[in-house]
Structure 1
Amino acid sequence: MAPMHEIAHMAHVELLTPEPERSLWFFTEVMGLTENGSEGDSVYLRTWDDYEHHTLKLTAHTTSGVRRTGLRASSQEALDRRVKAIEQAGYGIGWRDGDPGLGPTYVFRDPDGHELEIYWESEWYEAPPELAPSLKNQAQAYPARGVCVRRLDHVNFLAAEVEGSTEFVRDVLGGQPTEQIMLDGGTIAGRWLTFTNKSYDLVYTRDWTGSNGRLHHIAFATDTREDILRAADIFLDKGVFIETGPHKHAIQQTFFLYVYEPGGNRVELCNPCARLVLAPDWMTVTWTEAERAKGQAWGLKTIESFHTHGTPPVDLP
């Protein structure tokens, strides 16, 4: 299937937290994001290399999880075409006034129930004097605070059925599957999709609880692998729970570190920038159940919680 290129990129995510003050501390003082306004129970945060108003909308809530993931269309015409396709597929919710910095936004769901939004109009960020960069091709000065992540890289959704939602992203939104896990019985247990030329923007992996609409993790990119090693020391000093890593995934070859932010959501630091998908006729790489069972490319064995922890938490018998 030829790339559609009607989604420019995965743009931002709204994260829910039952610990809003501690989560805000984590994302600003530990991760190095910059606050860029607030509204009601939400605070808008941005990574230093983001050109838009915000990267992360952090919202106080009774529980954890992801409320909505934002996608920017590649043009007004592309937005109109994708909205029509979403409505024809039967997953549309409707138009909304966009959050600060965003124009009209169309809200919809994937087949598993995750809420997404798509928009075109976007107000480019203009840094105040104290945050103005020396380089005019950079949106904001380097904060030199905490980990100092560069950008939001991807979102990994948990889904009761991976295939339906990923086929929706592929056929309706134009996401290109780059890698996947196929179990011996033919079931797809995980699928990685891209809208751009990096190897993935959205990931869907099977939710062992059978629940719908949950989050596995959100991921932020660093400049180098060394930044992730330095981040591990920062997390240690700040009392942030390190779940696993640094190790290297076999799938997508991502060098990674996973932590839990104070609200309970899993956050990944990753350095996948070396892998670009430039081939327009890229053939999806399929990993077998036996190959996946081998674990990481290198590093320690995958910790059990990596397969069981998701947000919001669910009560099981």
Structure 2
Amino acid sequence: MTKLHKEPIFDVAQIAHVEMLSNTPKETIAFFTDMLGMEVVETINNQTYLRAYEDNYKYSLIITESEEPGLGHVAWRTTSPQALERRVKAVEASGYGIGWSNDQHGHGPAYQFTTPDGHKMEILWEVDYFDCPVEAQSKLLSRSQKRPLKGVPVRRLDHINLMSSNPAADSGFLIDVLGFKLREQIVDNDHVIGTWISVSNLVHEIAFMQEPTGAKGKLHHVCYWYGVPQNLYDAADVLKDHGHFIEIPPNKHGVSQAFCMYAYEPSGNRVELFGDAGYLIFDPDWKPITWQMKDVPGNGDTWIGAVFPESFWTYGTPVTAPVPLEAVAE
């Protein structure tokens, strides 16, 4: 007898943008523009909107001046206006809804909510697309604009990783309410340490990692994509030469198989750079991959490269515990 599968939900299409909080906004913006080749779209009050050159929407990153670094919010775009209505009803039924926001820049009405851990998110349909000036238009018609000549330009926003006091609860919420799919996870006996979930063929658009102090709502990292591993070595060379702290030099993950590196922008938020997309998932009956924590060091965190430092597992923003010594830039 054929086993009945839970009907999948295809109402969320992709990550739309991320808001990052910074207590050094001028320096943070310079990091993304001068080092990573992103472009300032505009600045309104205490918020600056930036884009990568292959982002289709008007912007993918908001830098908001704040007393401490961390996550502002994550925005997800639905697949249609009707899909937005369905997901709003589901979020409202979950008890984690906040309500509608109609006055944000660069997109239409957005329904705001939190994860069980308190990370602020929103879902939306209407977006402003990037209107590229004629002089900046690329002859490559699938590219939003010419490749910038500054820094080592990232191409697009890839994913977000959040620290959580309960990764299983946060990922379960997005799976049940928004239709995300569990792709990989790390467990310590029966306790979930980390999850990688997605709404597309990517291994993840969002991940949750255990926050060791039990603090809630923290940011682990924002990730931008290059698509070419060599770009990571170029970026590492530029970042090091200009005094930015590199936590993990170019490396290859076991989880996701992506080529990666990690650095801190000046306010202390971690930024990951992807050198490729890892593997893609097309199987509609994909069975989640489960790693035991004891097998992760040297295999799951890094497949090719040095074992990740303790700071990778313990440091996030805002800082709620002493920063490990190896995570402090000289």
Structure 1 equivalent of residue 281 of structure 2: 277
Of the three residues 53, 56, 62, the one matched with 1:51 is 56
Q: Which moved more, 1:29-38 or 1:83-92?
A: 29-38
AA paired with 1:6?
Answer: D
Cα deviation, 1:256-286, whole Å, max 9, x if unaligned, reads 1100000100000113424111111111000
Of the three residues 173, 187, 191, the one matched with 1:187 is 191
1:201-240 residue pairs with structure 2 within 5 A?
201-240=205-244
| Count of aligned positions | 315
Distance in structure 1 (CA, Å) of the matches to 2:305 and 2:277: 20
Distance in structure 2 (CA, Å) of the matches to 1:114 and 1:198: 22
SS in 2 for 1:251: coil
Structure 2 equivalent of residue 141 of structure 1: 146
Structure 1 equivalent of residue 306 of structure 2: 300
Q: Is the 8 A contact 1:5 1:196 kept in 2?
A: no
SS in 1 for 2:161: strand
Distance in structure 2 (CA, Å) of the matches to 1:271 and 1:173: 28
Q: Is the 8 A contact 1:159 1:204 kept in 2?
A: yes
AA paired with 2:319?
Answer: P
Aligned-residue sequence identity (percent) comes to 37
Displacement after TM superposition at 1:133 (Å): 1.8
Structure 2 equivalent of residue 255 of structure 1: 259
Q: TM-score, normalised by structure 1?
A: 0.96
Q: Is the 8 A contact 1:23 1:262 kept in 2?
A: yes
Structure 1 equivalent of residue 92 of structure 2: 87
Distance in structure 1 (CA, Å) of the matches to 2:140 and 2:207: 33
Structure 1 unaligned residues grouped into runs of 5+: none
Distance in structure 1 (CA, Å) of the matches to 2:131 and 2:219: 32
Q: Residues 300 and 159 from structure 1, CA distance in 2 versus in 1: closer, same or farther, beyond 3 angstroms?
A: same
Cα deviation, 1:65-101, whole Å, max 9, x if unaligned, reads 0110010000000000000000000000000025322
Q: TM-score, normalised by structure 2?
A: 0.93
1:173 equivalent in alignment to 2:178: yes
SS in 1 for 2:296: helix
Cα deviation, 1:95-140, whole Å, max 9, x if unaligned, reads 0025322000111001000000100011211112332222232211
Displacement after TM superposition at 1:223 (Å): 2.2
Distance in structure 1 (CA, Å) of the matches to 2:14 and 2:295: 30
1:23 equivalent in alignment to 2:28: yes
Distance in structure 2 (CA, Å) of the matches to 1:198 and 1:161: 23
Distance in structure 2 (CA, Å) of the matches to 1:281 and 1:106: 30
